[in-house]
Amino acid sequence: MHEPRPLPPAVGGIFTTGEGYQAGATRGRLRSRDLDVSVHGVRRSAIEDATFLDHCRMLLRRAPGHAFLSHSTAALVWGAPLPWTLEADRRIHIGVPAPSARLHSRGVVGHQMHIEPYDVTEWGGVPVTSPARTWFDLASILRLDDLVAVGDYLINRAAPFVDRVELARLLARSEGHRGIRAAREALGLLSERAESRPESRLRVLLVTSGLPAPEINHPLVNTETGRQVRPDFLFRDQMVILEYQGDYHRTRSQWRKDMTRRARLEAQGWKVMELNADDLHDPAELLARIRALFRR
Q: Between 197-208 and 144-155, two packed helices, what is the crossing angle to 10 degrees?
A: 120
- Res 226: pLDDT: 60
Percent of the chain whose pLDDT exceeds 70: 95
Could you state, in order of their start, the residue ranges of all structural domains in the chain? 14-50, 63-187, 197-295
Closest CA to 128 of 71, 79, 86, 52: 71
Residues 154 and 133: their CA atoms lie apart, in Å, by: 11
Report the CATH number of the 197-295 domain.
Answer: 3.40.960.10
Question: What would the pLDDT profile of 134-145 be if each residue is shown by its tens digit?
Answer: 999 999 999 999
Task: Give the three-class secondary structure for 182.
Answer: helix
Residue type, 288: A
Question: What would the pLDDT profile of 239-253 be if each residue is shown by its tens digit?
Answer: 999 999 875 556 677
Inform me whether the pLDDT recorded for 213 exceeds 90: no
Residues 84 and 96: their CA atoms lie apart, in Å, by: 26
Question: What would the pLDDT profile of 38-73 be if each residue is shown by its tens digit?
Answer: 888 999 987 777 789 999 999 999 899 999 999 999
- Res 44: pLDDT: 92
Inform me whether the pLDDT recorded for 2 exceeds 80: no
Residue type, 217: N
Residues 284 and 225: their CA atoms lie apart, in Å, by: 37
Cβ atoms 61, 14 nearer than 8 A: yes
More confident residue, 45 or 109: 109
Q: In which band, very low, low, confident or very high, does the pLDDT at 254 lie, cut at 50, 70 and 90?
A: confident
Cβ atoms 146, 205 nearer than 8 A: no
Q: The pTM is what?
A: 0.88
Region of 234 (left: φ > 0; alpha: ψ -120 to 50; beta: rest) is beta
Inform me whether the pLDDT recorded for 1 exceeds 60: no
CA atoms within 13 A on the CB side of 111: 20
Percent of the chain whose pLDDT exceeds 90: 67
More confident residue, 9 or 290: 290
Task: Give the three-class secondary structure for 215.
Answer: strand
Q: In which band, very low, low, confident or very high, does the pLDDT at 105 lie, cut at 50, 70 and 90?
A: confident
Task: Calculate mean pLDDT across residues 80-87.
Answer: 95
